[in-house]
Structure 1
Amino acid sequence: MKAISLLALLPLAAAAPTEAIAPRGLTVPNGNVPEKVRVLGVSLLGSGCPSGTADVQIDATKTLLEVTFSEYIIQTGPGTKAADWRKNCKLTLNLEFDEGFSFSTLATDMSGFAQIPKGSRGLCTNTFDFTGIQGQSYYSIALAGEREGPFTLKANPDVVSWSPCGGTTAIMNMNTQCNISPTREAALIAVDRISGKITVNVSLDWRKC
């Protein structure tokens, strides 16, 4: 099999079906949401997010965090090298919110484009933890072959970690990692043609301290 050309494949994304679409702006079960939430700062580190290629936004309900990557591309097969087979991005988010609240991640969904042949498998993981708090929330999304086209897949955590109480800010660390195996076959996980991004939507759960 020849190496996959990203530019040749991306036009296919417009016609292919999207599966397992997760709802946007999920309702928080306990109904406790601070009036004000904002991102004070974001730092990036990793092969999947060169400077200026990631963005973080919070929606009007304060319950959905959207993280987008514009140069997050994983590719295997002839002509590729080890640095192409696996990508990651660690984001450190400094969030400010009303006093008396704590939050955790409730669910994630991830959207992008993938071409995975039969016998190959893509795997994306999202982990979250808070500076000063032990434990993390872990999400795993599998992209098994054979598949070709855009995807939106949802994941729920096995364990939930909450931000510390007693302040108006919290530092959340998010680590996104994707890989494809085996690496000898031509395969691809990349940005979606329509949006030009890989997107991770994170539903936030708030509670009063």
Structure 2
Amino acid sequence: MHLSTLPLFAALVVALPSPNPSPAITVPLPGGPSGHEVQIEAIAFAGSGCPAGSVAGQLSSDLTTITLLYDSFVAQAGQGIPGASYRKNCQLNIKLKYPSGWQFSVFKADYRGYAQIPQGDTGTCKATYYFSGDSNQVSSTMTIKGPYDDNYIKTDQFGVTSTVWSPCGLEGLLNINSEVRLSPPDATKNAQLTVDSTDLKFTQVHYLQWQTCS
């Protein structure tokens, strides 16, 4: 599987790994003590739904939202379509540094897309969130039953008891594994499940929340 890296400049821009990566940027921690900063180092991605050159994104200036755009996150099934196309996935690794005494978690994520699913078939959108080195994880699944031919939105929102938090005062690597899948994979009628309703780009918005460590 190909692994690509998104160095963060003023905005996230897709780039191939290079021997001399561009320096990371730093931005103030919202609500944090004066002089403390969070360093956003990189976003890596790999998977059939996010090959090299197919992802772009932007990080909000207040560190509350990461918006990612995909142009290859499209699952397809039906006559004349390769069998492996019924499922597409993307594994994101988001690396951040932040001051001792602070931590963050994903508490909401919005997935927008388009589905064309015939009678008797189904489409599934799933996302799993976890931090490297931590066995705790949370997942959310949405199923779309045919017949369906319209845009959709999938919102993941986790309560306090189910929220996955980053390590306290350490460098955290947040993993987000998302997938779209059609069933049955050997459908005779054409089916499609994408993740942007207008231009076949997948838009994924991850909201970050911060708290002081107890």
Question: Which TM class, normalised by the smaller chain length?
Answer: 0.7 to 0.9
2:138: which partner in 1? 137
2:172: which partner in 1? 170
Distance 1:33 1:147 in 2: 44
Structure 1 residue 104: deviation in Å? 1.2
Report the AA paired with residue 90 of structure 2. Answer: C
Which residue of the other structure, out of 194, 198, 203, is the alignment partner of 2:198?
194
2:122: which partner in 1? 121
After superposition, where does 1:49-60 map in structure 2 within 5 Å?
Answer: 49-60=50-61
Runs of 4+ in 1 over 6 A off after TM superposition: none
Structure 1 residue 172: deviation in Å? 0.8
Contact 1:190 1:198 in 2 (8 A): yes
Which residue of the other structure, out of 160, 176, 184, is the alignment partner of 2:163?
160
1:181: which partner in 2? 183
The percent identity for this pair of structures is 30
Report the AA paired with residue 172 of structure 2. Answer: A
Q: Secondary structure at the match of 1:134?
A: coil
Closer/same/farther in 2, CA of residues 81 and 196 from structure 1, 3 Å limit: closer
Residue range with higher mean Cα deviation, 56-65 or 126-135: 56-65
Contiguous gaps of at least 5 residues in structure 2: 1-29
Structure 1 residue 208: deviation in Å? 0.6
Report the AA paired with residue 93 of structure 2. Answer: T
Deviations 1:3-61 (A, max 9, x none): xxxxxxxxxxxxxxxxxxxxxxxxxxxxx755754531122221111112123432233
Quick check: 1:91 aligned with 2:92?
Answer: yes
2:74: which partner in 1? 73
2:103: which partner in 1? 102
Contiguous gaps of at least 5 residues in structure 1: 1-31
Contact 2:126 2:180 in 1 (8 A): yes
RMSD: 2.1
Structure 1 residue 166: deviation in Å? 2.3
TM-score computed with the length of structure 2 as normaliser? 0.74
Deviations 1:61-82 (A, max 9, x none): 3222222211111001111222
Contact 1:69 1:198 in 2 (8 A): yes
Structure 1 residue 144: deviation in Å? 2.1
Query: Larger relative contact order (C-alpha < 8 A, sep ≥ 6)?
Result: 1
